[in-house]
Structure 1
Amino acid sequence: KRTFKLKLGLFGWFLKGFLNTRCTSRGLVSLQRRAHPPMVFLKTHRTGSSTVQNILFRLGERESATFAFPSHTYFEWLFRAAFVDELPEGSSQFDLLCSHMRLDLREVRKVMPQNAVFITVLRDPIKTFESVFGYYTSTVPAFLTAHRAAAIEGKSALSVFLDSPEIFWDPKEPRNGLAKNPMSFDMGFNNQKWNGSWPEDLAQLEEAFHLVMIAEHFDESLVLLGALLGLEHEDLAYLRLNVRAGNSVTDLDENMQAKVRSWNVLDTLLYDFFVQVFWEKASQFGMERLKAEVERLRAFTEDVRRKCVSRAEVPPGELEDLLRPWQTETATIVGYEVQGNLSLQDQGFCIRMMLPELQYHSHLYFKQYGRDMRAAPAE
């Protein structure tokens, strides 16, 4: 992924006035910093994780949290403590780790305090794999080879891949990690095949993660997240980020869905396990209470959207650089246009909510270290 050099120009001017404010139904109010526990958010691929990350970015920035950022662009391989940039001057610990990574619990715990709260999000494996394939067609070798074969056969690239995935997938190619069981890969599992350690690994994850959010129950997940961290509805209001345009999504018939499940059987096991865990936590919270809180969160979020968004699902060519999501070669990622006639403080809040990951990451990194992110070392 490329990076953005966003220093303090117009972007900083917008954001500067919002460091100690929050949006409520009555507008923006002054906010004193509240203490939340340190957090680790395992950002999984194509699960709605960019939306969750944006919530945490906003929370962390407002409360002057110290972020554990990768020293070069993004974490790409199995996580290592050495990948994290240095603790900035004046900070005693890292408060938030919420970048993409491939999980290694022991290494993460070397970086984050012992009382860190671990959260992540999972999504229906069929939807996840379709989205991973469409988004990363040009960068995952197995997908790219299928894409080239499909051009010759006159079929969709995904259908060609699913007909004979073993033909295209080389497990020894490190860039093929997302080509099979991508959520299991992100979790640090052996994503190639079932092995005897899987039940033990699942139990270890269940013990480590305080909350595994479920994308199909996103608002319910946010309510549980809010209860876990002591957040209010205004902290949890969101816009869905990094969303593909409708013509970039492949419709899957029942036959293709069955092939996705067969190819990603470990992701299905992982997802089904944590769906059950999720509803156990929801039951402990109280189902009627959960339903009522979800309704209140949705009503508040809708108010914020009306306040902030002039246009949704805006094509990238119609967006200014600040709000234009990163585009892949095979998927169109749409964004938002901010409402006009807002006060400076309201602009700061609204722009943050719709700010794409790379731009927000670059801004927070520069703010924390006073420099741009370093490029990845040349191979």
Structure 2
Amino acid sequence: MSSNCRLSLLGRRSRRQWLHLIVFTTAVLFVYVVVSRALNCSNTQSVIRDWSVYPVDTPVFQHNQTVVSDSALRHQIGKEEFQHVAFLKVHKTASSTVTNIIQRFGWKRHLNFILPSSSPNLISQNESITEKNILHMDKDETFDILCNHVLYDQRQFSKYLPKDTVYIGIVREPFAQFVSSVYYYKFKWSVPYLTRLPNNAPIKYLLQNPKQYEPKRCENSFTKNRMSVDFGLPKELFYTTDRKKILPYLRKLHTEFKLVMIKEYFDESLILLRRLLGWNIQDIIYVKMNSFNYVARVSYRDRHLHKQHSFLDYCLYNYFLQVFWRQVRQQGEDFHTEVSYFRQLRSAIEDFCLEMKKNSALHRTVFEAKETEFHSNFIIDKDICGLLMLNEVEFSTQLKWRQFPHLRIRGNRI
């Protein structure tokens, strides 16, 4: 056999071997992907429970209406629920959604709220609680909850709230919070200093000319260190970039707030909140509130300028982001499983409520979530859906009417 023939045969044999190797490797990878997906699907399905929608008058609903009592569930969790809560409602951080959760909790238990005296939902944008900006209870009654906009001042808060009050806050990535504020307060609320900005590039013009647009007093601005304003940081800190001067106050806040939620990790924050307060999982179900759709034009330079513009907010956010993850690491192994389960449950309930809002024929149905390791059996009906989708102005008004019946005006809000 000639040398050319041998080389040809060897080449064919080599190509055949390579082809077999490729086919074998492909088959192995295919099996691996299929098995991995099956395992992942199994892990996901392990936290999906039997959720059903029943007509109110069916025997199935009547039979499953009560399975495990709330007190039994709290015993299972290991603590009684806290009912004295101060939530610092920070601007444009998903705080309206949290406010609805807390208002719904207090409404169900007939708790007393600190409520604004002259606005449906706003105690103050530029000061803390005073004798004049809230409605006062009878002398023999006490307040339980605070969750409307007001600047934080621990001394003022403690004058009106019980000693065992749990303080909760929330923060958001500073640039995202800033952009949201610009568009929300310029285009929805027409705040004067923001309406002067060009409509086509408000972020760019504000950050390049802050002295031309920003109010002189920090508490009058919605767009410069607003989270730090809401948290009541001392005014002298707004004019420094010395972290050594800023850090002591952040540590002080850490001792006063049991939890500062992170908007970017909202569901994780709510599970921490539930565990901290000993609440039930149905207490923290939510439908997103007060969202404002916009398309922002931003650049890398805008982000860079904003770090100088709102330096204090970055310090605040980064500090409590570290604290947050430390708290998450201290949770048990079931924490992330509960977060995953909660996301699925919440999404299913939101879909049910939104569909009920569109279709009046569904008003005679209920959503049932059967008992799991995370909650007792509970239902969501038309009334609960109504509360879930009640905005903060409407909810605050309803709370005022119940706490102070004499303020109610027939057929109108206060």
Tell me, yes or no, whether TM beats 0.5.
yes
Q: What amino acid maps onto 1:85 in structure 2? A: L
Residue 371 to residue 158, structure 1, CA distance change in 2 (3 Å): farther
1:181 aligns with 2:225: yes
Give how far 1:197 is off.
4.5
Cα distance between partner residues in 2 of 1:209 and 1:367? 29
Indicate the structure with greater helix content: 2
Q: Which residue of 2 aligns with 1:14?
A: none
Q: Which residue of 1 aligns with 2:24?
A: none
Q: What amino acid maps onto 2:351 in structure 1? A: R
Query: 1:1-379 counterparts in 2 under 5 A?
Result: 36-73=82-119, 74-76=122-124, 77-82=126-131, 83-88=133-138, 92-137=141-186, 138-145=189-196, 147=197, 150=198, 155-172=200-217, 175-176=220-221, 178-189=222-233, 190=235, 192-194=238-240, 197-245=245-293, 248-286=294-332, 288-310=333-355, 340-343=361-364, 346-372=381-407
Give how far 1:203 is off.
1.1
Cα distance between partner residues in 1 of 2:314 and 2:218? 23
Give how far 1:158 is off.
2.0
1:104-132 per-position Cα deviation (integer Å, ceiling 9, x unaligned) = 11100001000000001100001100011
Asked if the contact 1:242/1:356 (under 8 Å) is kept, the reply is: yes
Q: Which residue of 1 aligns with 2:34?
A: none
Give how far 1:260 is off.
2.2
Residue 95 to residue 280, structure 1, CA distance change in 2 (3 Å): same
Residue 240 to residue 123, structure 1, CA distance change in 2 (3 Å): same
Asked if the contact 2:219/2:229 (under 8 Å) is kept, the reply is: no
Residue 338 to residue 36, structure 1, CA distance change in 2 (3 Å): farther
Give how far 1:370 is off.
0.7
Question: 3-state SS of the aligned residue for 1:212?
Answer: strand
In the superposition, the TM-score normalised over structure 2's length comes to: 0.70
The two structures, once aligned, show a CA RMSD in angstroms of 2.7
Structure 1 unaligned spans of 5+: 1-22, 312-335, 375-379
Give how far 1:309 is off.
1.0
Cα distance between partner residues in 2 of 1:29 and 1:84? 41
Asked if the contact 1:94/1:113 (under 8 Å) is kept, the reply is: yes
1:222-255 per-position Cα deviation (integer Å, ceiling 9, x unaligned) = 000000111122111111100112xx24142322
Asked if the contact 1:140/1:179 (under 8 Å) is kept, the reply is: no
Say which one has the larger Rg: 2
| Alignment size in residue pairs | 315
Give how far 1:28 is off.
8.7
Moved more, 189-198 or 277-286: 189-198
Structure 2 unaligned spans of 5+: 1-60, 72-79, 366-379, 410-414
Question: 3-state SS of the aligned residue for 2:260?
Answer: strand
Asked if the contact 1:42/1:98 (under 8 Å) is kept, the reply is: yes
Residue 88 to residue 310, structure 1, CA distance change in 2 (3 Å): farther
Give how far 1:32 is off.
7.2
Cα distance between partner residues in 1 of 2:176 and 2:141? 41
In the superposition, the TM-score normalised over structure 1's length comes to: 0.76
Question: 3-state SS of the aligned residue for 1:235?
Answer: helix
Asked if the contact 1:125/1:267 (under 8 Å) is kept, the reply is: yes
Cα distance between partner residues in 2 of 1:272 and 1:167? 29
Residue 294 to residue 47, structure 1, CA distance change in 2 (3 Å): same
Give how far 1:169 is off.
1.8
Residue 28 to residue 249, structure 1, CA distance change in 2 (3 Å): farther
Question: 3-state SS of the aligned residue for 2:330?
Answer: helix
Q: What amino acid maps onto 1:227 in structure 2? A: R
1:206-231 per-position Cα deviation (integer Å, ceiling 9, x unaligned) = 00000000000001000000001111
Give how far 1:173 is off.
7.8
Cα distance between partner residues in 1 of 2:204 and 2:66? 49
Asked if the contact 2:129/2:150 (under 8 Å) is kept, the reply is: no
Asked if the contact 2:82/2:277 (under 8 Å) is kept, the reply is: yes
Give how far 1:262 is off.
2.2
Question: 3-state SS of the aligned residue for 2:316?
Answer: helix
Asked if the contact 2:86/2:168 (under 8 Å) is kept, the reply is: yes
